[in-house]
């Protein structure tokens, strides 16, 4: 990824992430359907992941995953600093 102000703006607008910023890996989860997720923490809590599994993503309102499994996942992202990113997106966006 490019560095600099333009790159930062692009990352926030498109993904809700800040370029060249530290995110802590808290956990990795594999769901019953095989979906792999990475639980990240952003200490500033100013921006949230805007992609799949982001806190406002439609997947939370769908029936894609079992209700009990979704309930357990939601508990992990109650803290506004924590969010899930699909494993494939994590590999593509973080180095």
Q: What is the pLDDT of residue 26?
A: 95
Q: What is the pLDDT of residue 3?
A: 37
- Tokens found for residue 50: 């805007």
Q: Coil, strand or helix: which one is 71?
A: helix
Q: What is the pLDDT of residue 85?
A: 94
Asked if 32 and 68 touch (Cβ cutoff 8 Å), the reply is no
Helix (H) or strand (E) holding 13: helix 5-15
Maximum separation of any 2 CA atoms in the chain, in Å: 42
Q: What is the pLDDT of residue 64?
A: 83
Tens-level pLDDT at each residue, the chain (95 residues)? 333 445 556 666 778 887 777 889 999 999 999 999 999 998 776 777 888 998 889 998 888 889 999 999 999 888 888 999 999 999 988 87
Q: Which residues pair with 86 in a beta bridge?
A: 37
Q: What is the pLDDT of residue 14?
A: 78
């Amino acid at each position: 990824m490019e560095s600099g102000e333009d790159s930062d703006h692009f990352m926030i607008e498109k993904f809700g992430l800040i370029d060249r910023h530290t995110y802590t890996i808290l956990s990795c989860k594999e769901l019953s359907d095989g979906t792999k997720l990475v639980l990240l923490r952003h200490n500033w809590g100013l921006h949230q992941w805007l992609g799949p599994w982001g806190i406002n993503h439609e997947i939370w309102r769908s029936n894609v995953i079992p209700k009990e499994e979704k309930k357990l996942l939601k508990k992990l992202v109650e803290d506004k600093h924590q969010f899930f990113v699909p494993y494939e997106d994590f590999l593509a966006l973080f180095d």
